[in-house]
Amino acid sequence: MQDVIEGRVWTLGADVDTDGIISGKYLTVIDPEELKKHVFEIALPEFASQAQAGDVLVAGVNFGCGSSREHAPAAMKAIGVGAVVADSFARIFFRNAINLGLPVIEVPGVRAIFEKGDVARIEMGQGRVTNERTGASVRFPPLPPHLLRILEAGGLVEHVRRELAGRAPSAGAKT
Amino acid sequence: MTGSPGHGMTLAEKVLARASGEERVVPGQIVDGRVDLAMMHEQGAQTVAPFHQMGAERVWDPDRVVIAIDHWVPAPTEGAAVLHRILRKFAAETGLPHFYDVGNHGICHQILAENGWVVPGDLAVGTDSHTNTLGAMGAVAAGIGPTEMAAVLALGSLWLKVPSTVQVRVRGSFGPGVTAKDLVLRVLGEIRTTGATYKSVEFTGPTIASLSMPERLTICNMTTEMGAKCGMVAPDDKTYEYLRGTAKHAMHPLWADADAVYERVVDVNVDEMPPMVACPYSPDNVRPLPEVAREHVKVDQVFLGSCTNARIEDLREGAALMKGHKVAPGVRFIVSPASTRIYEQCLKEGIIETFTEAGAVFTNSSCSACFGGNMGLLAPDEVCASSSNRNFPGRMGAKQARIYLMSPAATVAAAIAGEVTDHRPML
Ligand code: SF4
């Protein structure tokens, strides 16, 4: 994962629930190509057809609340969401997103400085989100190194694989 | 962040500081916590694939992993049978000896409690959302997803965000027929289903000190319905007594500092508190039982079971009330003990007979009717009085069915009367 993430902004309100991200009727779908067709079908219907890889979502408080489905961040990752920046996240969504390698950054006050179509610049190490159109910015405590390493690896599975491989070759990766 | 240097830590913060080897932690901080106990039930079948994808071959410590199948026992469908087989195979291949299989089974949280798998000061994680139950031991016990569980099995640790803490201070004495279940329903009515999201709920005060361990398990169980990461009761002599002879590893009891920083304090006085009921369709839709009883809500089914309230104390209390009565005509009364050990105790004490003579069905131990995927499902528009913990639409079968949550004694009274009723005059 890069230290600086830049992307075109889509905005969302508060309390976007996982049903709004991927409806319950798609829970048996495991193919990411299929999942991404239905992402945000309820919360942001035009997203799936217009999104570009690297787009950034800016949301209000409690993003990802509701049912704890891992499908929600999986679908967002599949369509190529670059990052989600929100005033706050629901607990399980936050965990699932990090564990799948989707950058999620909690930045209280961030929703207020963006409009749809703006360009966001996120400096992970610095802990700053800037609206490149207006110049407005908000700071956040950078993600702890541990979570950054998981994101860098692209998710928990790969992260643990690397860690095991580094520890003891015999106990680590299968040949 | 609330805490700042110079302030004390809450119980959850103390446990997570220990688990992560930090001197102090503050809410919001992310730590890498060493796990003392990992528990999987059927959902653990989804842990097996990522475990292998990680390239892991060995489980970090087989003596700290428990597998307890409970949702579908014995397997009622082919799908459930496959999940069970995946787990058995995984346990055999990776050498996991602590598998509570059919015949030695029970609801996973009860298995952990009655076999001393979680002790004071532990960090315990499980693939079930009601892992919170074990916070009754003075531990941080939380539910995690199956992929995360794979990382725990491989590494023995996982990343955790330190929760802030809601302190629930309880004083007063329960009146006759009023129980810990009524207390937790009352607290839920106040905190609501989102009021403790990501937080630790720490119960304290003289009333909590007077609660037995089974009662503490009941109140910690329903912190899940408050959105909490964990629910906790500080360890005391009752905790040590309960775990005497069964504790599977060394205890390292911890307590909140006197100057701990709480995000919120909720005060409850249980003097004069009536029994409580959570009405459809949310566990926080809580009203006094006598008020609901006046509406003569007819029931089709009654369930005395689940990880909230199916311990031997609950079933004894229910049987005492059942004795000499019959289940009302047209009502199905399902009683399901929380573990095989409790089943055996019921057999010895004549509790099974009391229930079956009255016209109830006394089942094998499992999650049973609690979650609408195994047995005892409800048809559309049916009504159920239940000692379990959730009453969302569709929880026990049909979406339109209505579930009322209450104490074990109140469920028995509903079975006798055929409607939601105040059990206290029957005592
Ligand atoms: S008894 Fe009910 S709430 Fe408890 S673990 Fe089983 S299904 Fe979940």
* pLDDT of B287: 98
* pLDDT of A15: 87
pLDDT tens digits, B332-354: 999 999 999 999 999 999 999 99
pLDDT band of residue A28 (cuts 50, 70, 90) is low
Closest CA relative to residue B388, chosen from B174, B221, B189: B221
Do β-strands B361-362 and A83-86 pair in parallel, antiparallel, or remain unpaired? unpaired
pLDDT tens digits, B133-164: 999 999 999 999 888 999 999 999 999 999 99
Chain B residues within an 8 Å CB radius of A92: 145
**Nearest chain A residue (CA) to B53:** A157
- What six digits make up the tokens of B158? 């996982």
Any alpha helices (H) in B66-145, and if so which ranges? 78-94, 108-114
pLDDT exceeds 80 at position A24: no
Q: SS3 helix, strand, coil % of chain A, rounded to 5?
A: 35, 20, 45
The verdict on B148 touching A (C-beta cutoff 8 Å) is yes
Do β-strands B200-204 and B230-233 pair in parallel, antiparallel, or remain unpaired? parallel
pLDDT exceeds 70 at position A27: no
> From the list A70, A157, A171, which residue is nearest B58 (CB)?
A171
pLDDT exceeds 90 at position A166: no
Residue B192, amino acid? R
* pLDDT of B2: 44
Closest CA relative to residue A92, chosen from B149, B144, B134: B144
* pLDDT of A30: 67
Residue among B40, B66, B70 to mutate when testing ligand 1 (max atoms within 8 A of CB): B70
The verdict on B151 touching A (C-beta cutoff 8 Å) is yes
pLDDT band of residue B311 (cuts 50, 70, 90) is very high
Closest CA relative to residue B267, chosen from B174, B187, B184, B180: B187
pLDDT tens digits, A47-103: 999 999 999 999 999 899 876 677 889 999 999 999 999 999 987 789 889 999 999
| Residue A15, helix vs strand vs coil | coil
pLDDT exceeds 90 at position B213: yes
**Nearest chain A residue (CA) to B150:** A157
Angstrom distance (rounded) from CA B155 to CA A164 = 8
Ligand 1 atom closest to the CA of B368, numbered from 1: 1
- Å from CA of B103 to ligand 1 middle: 19
Q: Closest residue (by CA) to atom 1 of ligand 1?
A: B306
Residue B391, amino acid? N
List of domains in chain B: 11-267 (3.30.499.10), 277-426 (3.30.499.10)
Mean pLDDT of A30-51: 90
Q: Any idea which architecture A4-167 has in CATH? A: Alpha-Beta Barrel (3.20)
Is residue B218 within 8 A of residue B113, CB to CB? The reply is no
pLDDT exceeds 50 at position B403: yes
Mean pLDDT of B182-205: 94
Angstrom distance (rounded) from CA B215 to CA B217 = 5
Cβ burial of A142 (10 Å; 0-12, 13-18, 19+) is: middle
pLDDT exceeds 80 at position B5: no
Shortest alpha-carbon distance between residue B119 and chain A (Å): 26
* pLDDT of A68: 66
Mean pLDDT of B283-295: 97
pLDDT band of residue B122 (cuts 50, 70, 90) is very high
pLDDT tens digits, B30-53: 899 999 999 999 989 989 999 999
pLDDT exceeds 90 at position B72: yes
Mean pLDDT of B112-128: 97
Q: Is the CB of B130 under 6 A from ligand 1?
A: yes
pLDDT band of residue A175 (cuts 50, 70, 90) is very low
* pLDDT of A2: 78
Angstrom distance (rounded) from CA B142 to CA B132 = 5
Closest CA relative to residue B11, chosen from B119, B121, B130, B117: B121
- What six digits make up the tokens of B175? 């009146």
Contact A157 B148 (CB under 8 A): no
Q: Which of A25-29, B274-278, B359-363 has the lowest mean pLDDT?
A: A25-29
pLDDT band of residue A174 (cuts 50, 70, 90) is very low
Closest CA relative to residue A109, chosen from A129, A93, A91: A129
Record the pTM: 0.90
* pLDDT of B6: 54
The verdict on B97 touching A (C-beta cutoff 8 Å) is no
Residue among B107, B311, B335, B391 to mutate when testing ligand 1 (max atoms within 8 A of CB): B107
Mean pLDDT of A168-173: 46
| Residue B94, helix vs strand vs coil | helix
Residue B17, amino acid? A
pLDDT band of residue A168 (cuts 50, 70, 90) is low
Shortest alpha-carbon distance between residue B71 and chain A (Å): 19
- What six digits make up the tokens of A125? 């190490």
Do β-strands B301-304 and B286-288 pair in parallel, antiparallel, or remain unpaired? unpaired
The verdict on B22 touching A (C-beta cutoff 8 Å) is no
* pLDDT of A169: 52
Mean pLDDT (chain A) is 89
* pLDDT of B69: 97
* pLDDT of B17: 98
* pLDDT of A20: 86
Q: Is the CB of B128 under 6 A from ligand 1?
A: yes
A160, A167, A175: which to substitute to probe chain B, counting the most B Cβ within 10 Å?
A160
Any alpha helices (H) in A41-83, and if so which ranges? 47-50, 71-79
